[in-house]
Structure 1
Amino acid sequence: MGSLTDTVKTLLIANIIFFVGTLSLGDYAFTLFALWFPENPNFGVWQIITHMFMHGNEAHIFFNMFALFIFGSVLERSIGQSKFIFIYISSGLGAAGLQILFSYLGYWENYDALIESGLSSNQISEMISSAIETGRFPNYINSSNIGAANSLISNFSVPMVGASGAIFGVLAAFALMYPNMPLYFIFVPIPIKAKYLIGGYFLIDLYSAITDSSILGPSNVAHWAHIGGAVVGFFIMWYWKKNSFNQNRWN
């Protein structure tokens, strides 16, 4: 794949520094830099950027940085540094936007379900405060509304972290630039064209997002963020290729 390009090297270093800092600061780092639901008091506008450098554990950062290492430099050498930075950041923002959108949809869907179950707005606010502060629900949360309560709290209080959205944008752009490049899936010694391997992974993520089930990876994966990043990366690269931008304009 060749040597690392400057931007990819900088991104790798930045993500590692953030991760080491997270190990030192613990929950405070996630409170400050993870992307929280906008209605959550922990939310800050800067988190739209900083969440891209936060990771939950060693496996999370390893697989994201491995994908960036494998595909990033090839793409950057092909389209130039400025274009690569633009597609990386734009994909990360697209990922955040779509994830927030579906978090809002889930929040209000469950909020309405709790209202229909007989709770008042004040009771729901009290429930949220109680769940966050004590980890317990008030006694008016019972078997008939516990599902909606759990889902609402999940949308409200689970932050988004990781470079996955930006990475998926890079992968989508790579597949569009090199659709027939043979790639090898881990543990499967058979070459698969980039458009099939990356496209297949996208379809698995789409299925997981729609069904709220996880086929690959842990159950807390932000699938809509992956999809948002991939869609943004794909359409940016498609637009550039379609209009044959002069690369010098971006370097």
Structure 2
Amino acid sequence: MTFTLIAINIVAFFLEQRDPNLLIGLLALWPPSPAVAADEPVFHFWQLLTYSALHANLTHLLFNMFGLYVFGREVERTIGHLRVAALYVASVVSGALVQIAVSFASTHSYPTIGASAGVFGLLVSYAILFPHRRVVLLFPPIPMPAWVFATGYGVLELFMGASGEEADVAHFAHIGGMLGAIALMAYWWRSRHHSWID
């Protein structure tokens, strides 16, 4: 499933290059607005999922696919391909919902794109499953336990989102992705008598 998700993102990226304005207008996550001009993009319910398949540039795509590959494979080996797909979708949708909620308090109206919410959901799932496994930062290359890595990333995203730094980055979608994955993992834990695996 991890490789299928990566393939979907890569194919979507190349399709996006053919007509970016059309796909971003139709598939990116646009904040709901009560009144827009006839030619302006508007929110559609499918954007809660489709925004995750679009990326701003090749670097954006590569970083997200690297995270999806690193964390997705290990999570999938532990909980199976169906559950990793459910985790990814739940993270993407919850990331979208949090981003929309935050957009109501913001004066900015710009689209959200990228698989980051899904990747952050897999990151926190990895940290829950393997809390003491070592993860190495890319810059600088510092090893740390997975739970420290995920917690630190979550705190950093919250700080950057609240401070308004990098306003073009959907920090709250990242946080929403983590929250969605945590909620689904907790549900599975309780419903399956403290077991991640069927």
What is the TM-score normalised by the length of structure 1? 0.72
CA gap 1:246/1:48 in 2 versus in 1, 3 angstroms: closer
Offset, 1:247: 2.7
Offset at residue 190 of structure 1 (A)? 3.5
- The gaps in structure 1 that reach 5 residues or longer are 1-6, 107-151
Quick check: 1:59 aligned with 2:59? yes
Residue number among 204, 222, 228 corresponding to 2:176 in the alignment: 228
Give the equivalent residue in structure 2 for 1:49: 49
Aligned to 1:203: 155
**Number of corresponding residues:** 190
The structural deviation recorded for 1:32 is 1.3
What is the CA–CA distance in structure 2 between the aligned matches of 1:169 and 1:189, rounded to whole Å? 22
Deviations 1:160-190 (A, max 9, x none): 1011111111111110110100111114344
CA–CA distance in 1 between the matches of 2:125 and 2:186?
8
Is the partner of 1:221 in helix, strand or coil? coil
How far apart, CA to CA, are the structure 1 residues paired with 2:128 and 2:99? 24
Paired residues for 1:150-169 under 5 Å: 152=107, 154-155=108-109, 158-169=110-121
Larger Rg: 1
Alignment of 1:1-251 (within 5 A): 7-39=1-33, 40=36, 41-42=40-41, 43-106=43-106, 152=107, 154-155=108-109, 158-214=110-166, 219-242=167-190, 243-245=193-195, 247-248=197-198
Alpha-carbon distance, 1:238 to partner: 3.0
Structure 2 length-normalised TM: 0.90
> CA 1:87 to 1:57, structure 2 compared with 1: closer, same or farther past 3 Å?
same
Following TM superposition, by how much is the alpha carbon of 1:206 offset from its aligned partner in structure 2, in angstroms? 0.5
The alpha carbon displacement at 1:46 in A equals: 1.6
Question: Percent identical across equivalent pairs?
Answer: 33
Matched residues in 2 for 1:8 and 1:55: separation?
A: 18
- Runs of 4 or more, structure 1, over 4 Å off, are none
Q: CA RMSD for the aligned pairs?
A: 1.5
